[in-house]
Structure 1
């Protein structure tokens, strides 16, 4: 095994304010065993904090097999931590840029897939399990997250990327009981084009449905309603919306709310509870600085007391 990243050569920083960390797709685990918050995201780095205000990191925690499909130095996107059956699991997207699997709609498709690593501790290290492959080799998949459905079985929910199908989808696949591999085939939940709020314009300036699905995260309201936040675009603005399952199960059907739920240029969210019991949403802000995307973690207070998710206000630790 080798560490996925070169950040072990970086100097560990202490007492860093949350808004001083440059990080896409921030996901936070509130670990009661250590009374510590652990934050992961794109880049594979891990940060930790006792109060959500000041953070220490970045730490190298992910290890992969250099002889696997990932290669010796995979890119890591949208990592998130989940505790399940006394273990900690690292759900992330790994990309091997040296391997090209397809060319579609003018896009060269690199080998990319959602995958899961495991550890006995929240802070890692996270290592591979039994199966080398969870999802089909010929499909680019990303942003895998975790949910236990009403049948009591564990599932990975992930995006099948628009680069290949030109209409990104949200899908699910059953996992083995210890999450060490997948069972059967993936199943379609919904397509990007089904959302009323994700839209773009074609080359003639005509409005059409957008093709991007990004950043799914599942939750339940106090009334037991199953929802999913996910991210796409309104023209050139990065936005996040919500869908609800009419059946209360992953199979849906999924009904999308008309309007976005967070301010423009905030997205790829997830939900967690603080040690004091407050429900928060972790997202990143999105803007261009000198021609490059600049993304910073932010927190919002969330109300789930009714039958729908409501974003209350920004949360300042």
Structure 2
């Protein structure tokens, strides 16, 4: 395995899993050279210091008969119930729609194999970027995007999951639409010129030290990728969700998540720029002030 600096790793949708008992960080993401085409699988990188990364480790390669062969996107890996679960987006062969499925493994480097029976997002929806959230009662949920290409005004939704994460239980709940954020602008699309498009992308929910529930998500400002934050006014997943006036990051980067380093720093993982094959992962330090996240 080679040693890499982040500036040399082509990756979108970075997700970092810190395992303190090992003293290692695991970096996941969309790692195909061209994620807009045929899918190969997912790779991961490992680091002890967030500076030098060892890899790539192949952690998922589809077996014959897998329901997707295109658009392998946004793997997020969680330690949950004694195993490791990956939430990842794939484009289905049978209906050409995107959906997020759950995969599982006994270790953080897999190999990950299908755990759910196909996507757990609604079959009739084009959905992406599913993320695990466990609420204050210990109930698991998937937070995900209902794709703008299907609905015009992209949505962030949540659906309750079974305790074993194999399936959705009940109907999805709408949390908010992209146009509700004052910082977003319409996304011009030659494929969908007849509709007004607002993008939702890469939702990630977290609770801050003051107890507030916040949701990172990406969209566009005048054609440039940007990262914003919504805040639940009740501290509950159901919201209502209030959008911050200004984006957290607007320099052509997004699809972010937050983790805490072993020395206690709050870190933002984000990819920028938003153009293949130039996308790279960036780790930026955050601060909390009066229930708000700020870049240091």
TM-score by length of 1: 0.83
1:311 aligns with 2:295: yes
Q: 1:173 aligns with which of 147, 154, 159?
A: 159
More moved, 303-312 vs 39-48: 303-312
Q: Give the SS at the match of 1:224.
A: coil
1:102-113 → structure 2 map (5 Å cutoff): 110-113=96-99
Report if aligned partners of 2:134, 2:140 keep a CA contact under 8 Å in 1.
Answer: yes
1:263 CA drift (Å) = 4.0
1:243 aligns with 2:243: no
1:281 aligns with 2:268: yes
CA pair 311-251 structure 1, distance change in 2 beyond 3 A: same
1:18 aligns with 2:6: yes
1:50 CA drift (Å) = 1.4
Gaps of 5+ in 2: 32-41, 190-194
Report if aligned partners of 2:287, 2:294 keep a CA contact under 8 Å in 1.
Answer: yes
Instruction: Give deviations 1:267-311, integer Å, cap 9, x for gaps.
Output: 1110011111211000011155xxx55211111111135311111
1:226 aligns with 2:210: no
Q: Which has the larger radius of gyration?
A: 1
1:149 aligns with 2:149: no
Gaps of 5+ in 1: 1-11, 102-109, 313-317
Q: 2:49 aligns with which of 45, 48, 51?
A: 51
Q: Give the SS at the match of 1:193.
A: helix
1:75 CA drift (Å) = 3.0
1:141 CA drift (Å) = 0.6
CA pair 202-296 structure 1, distance change in 2 beyond 3 A: closer
Q: Give the SS at the match of 2:278.
A: strand
CA pair 67-243 structure 1, distance change in 2 beyond 3 A: same
1:1-317 → structure 2 map (5 Å cutoff): 12=1, 14-43=2-31, 44-64=42-62, 66-70=64-68, 73-96=69-92, 98-99=93-94, 101=95, 110-200=96-186, 211-286=198-273, 288=275, 292=276, 294-304=278-288, 306-312=290-296
Please identify runs of 4+ aligned residues in structure 1 that moved more than 2 A: 63-70, 130-133, 200-203
Report if aligned partners of 2:152, 2:196 keep a CA contact under 8 Å in 1.
Answer: no
Aligned residues: 281
Q: Give the SS at the match of 2:7.
A: helix
Report if aligned partners of 2:116, 2:165 keep a CA contact under 8 Å in 1.
Answer: no
Q: Distance in 1 between matches of 2:45 and 2:281?
A: 12
Report if aligned partners of 1:157, 1:173 keep a CA contact under 8 Å in 2.
Answer: yes
CA pair 302-202 structure 1, distance change in 2 beyond 3 A: closer
More moved, 173-182 vs 59-68: 59-68
1:29 CA drift (Å) = 0.5
TM-score by length of 2: 0.89
